[in-house]
């Protein structure tokens, strides 16, 4: 497996990003599609609408959010395997819009993908 990394949607794209996949259900506010240079917008691996709203990016909710999001991801194994397969061929960058680089769903998704059993 090559690298799976995460990057804010508002950070400038770089050639080293490899395959850039937006993993947010909503398009990042104010972001122009030309700037984003995305290869794919994957809504299938994002948190459900209800879970996203409940979480609200509140640090005190993050631990429980992570548990619930992992449970949601466990129901999407075929898609997770497809995404992980992309990382075997090239660097995969999961692009997200959240302001906090530590408290966001992309971090959880990356960890799930890295630890996914073949």
User: Which pLDDT score, from 0 to 100, does residue 85 have?
Assistant: 95
Residue range 87-114, pLDDT digits in tens? 999 999 999 999 998 999 999 999 999 9
pTM: 0.94
- Can you give the residue range of the structural domain that contains 82? 4-115
Element containing residue 111 per DSSP (H, E)? helix 105-115
Find where tokens 């995305």 sit. 38
How does pLDDT run across 45-68, given as a tens digit for each residue?
Answer: 999 999 999 999 999 999 999 999
60 — phi, psi (to 5°)? Answer: -70, -20
Tokens of 73: 């991801």
Domain total in the chain: 1
pLDDT confidence bin for 2, thresholds 50/70/90: confident
pLDDT > 70 in the chain, percent: 99
């Amino acid at each position: 497996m090559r690298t799976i990394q995460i990057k804010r949607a508002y950070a400038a794209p770089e050639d080293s990003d490899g395959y850039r996949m937006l993993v947010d259900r909503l398009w990042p506010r104010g972001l122009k599609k030309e700037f984003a240079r995305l290869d794919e917008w994957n809504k299938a691996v994002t948190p459900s609408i209800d879970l996203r709203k409940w979480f609200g990016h509140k640090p005190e909710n993050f631990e429980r959010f992570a548990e619930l999001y992992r449970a949601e991801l466990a129901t999407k194994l075929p898609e997770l395997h497809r995404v992980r397969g992309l990382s075997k061929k090239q660097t995969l960058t999961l692009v997200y819009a959240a302001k906090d680089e530590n408290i966001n769903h992309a971090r959880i998704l990356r960890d799930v993908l890295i630890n996914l059993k073949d």
